Chain A
Amino acid sequence: MSAAAPLLFPENDANLHRAAGGDHDAFGALIREHQDMVFSIAWHFLHDRDRAEEIAQEVFLQLYRTLSEIESNAHLTFWLRRVTANRCIDESRRGRWRIVTLDEANDVARDADDTDPLLTRKLGQMLQRLPAQQRLAITMRYQEGLDPSEIGAVLDMPLNTVKSHLRRGLAALREWLGVKS
């Protein structure tokens, strides 16, 4: 890193700047910083570890080709969330993701109770039954902790649409898991 860089960029942005200049070590640092977020969005969407990794790798390869357009680390986080979401949608349109059948989902719901330590896993499985947009909105809300307006920005969706996706998705999950509102 040059001596002047920290004066111009915060530490993370300096990494971004160096990566944009072709520094693979800096790009590696950026990947390590954001890989869990990108992988997790894809994993929660697909519930398939191999394909989640494939999507995450493609996202970072696309990032490498686009680095010069990324202005800051905050922009980078936004960009990664949006591109990962778009790739998940593309993947679902290809129809290669595993569909949880109604019988499987009912089995999961029947097994769920208030003290079940596996409830989080079951919630993840139930999520697979939701439409793609609802799944992404809920993932952005509960994984990334975004509020509806931020979700709208990431998913390029009006605020009321985001709220509707969240409301319907959560209602469906509650119903399938037998949770009272």
Chain B
Amino acid sequence: MNFEDDLTRAFERKSAPNGFADRVLSRLEAPPRHTSASMFRRIAAAIVLTAALGGLTAHQIIEHRRNEEGERARRQLMTALHIASAKMRVAQRAVVHD
């Protein structure tokens, strides 16, 4: 047996399956196939994006509430100052009349 010849025969080119070229050409027009790996990457990316958007929204809500509380406290302080100021004016007038 000539081993080199056997190898050459064993490695003769095989014919591609019938219709191979047509199947490739039809895939040029078709949307790309998604492998399980690419699907996993897409799902993972969607989860990360959702988590990031959710975090951002929560942060904005908390920030908004803080601003509202601050504004309410400012208004209360201004009201207190107005009342104190009015009381001071009444007291001042009473002192002047006396």
Contact = CB atoms under 8 A, between A and B. Distances in A.
Contacts, number: 78
Contacts of B24: 31, 57, 60-61
A142 B25 contact: no
Interface string A47-60: 00100010011001
Nearest to A142: B11
Given A31-B24, A49-B17, A53-B16, A142 B7 contact: yes
Interface residues on chain A, size class = 35 or more
A27 B25 contact: yes
A49 to B, nearest CB: 7
B28 A35 contact: no
B17 A53 contact: yes
Given A57-B27, A61-B27, A120-B9, A36 B16 contact: yes
Interface residues on chain B, size class = 20 to 34
Interface in A11-34: 24, 27-28, 31-32
B10 interface: yes
B93 interface: no
Interface centre among B1, B16, B21, B22, by most A CB within 10 Å? B16
Given A61-B28, A114-B1, A44 B21 contact: no
A37 interface: yes
A32 B16 CA distance: 9
Interface string B4-22: 0011111111111100111
Interface of A: 24, 27-28, 31-32, 35-40, 43-44, 49, 53, 56-57, 60-61, 64, 114, 119-121, 123-124, 127, 138-139, 142-143, 170, 173-174, 179
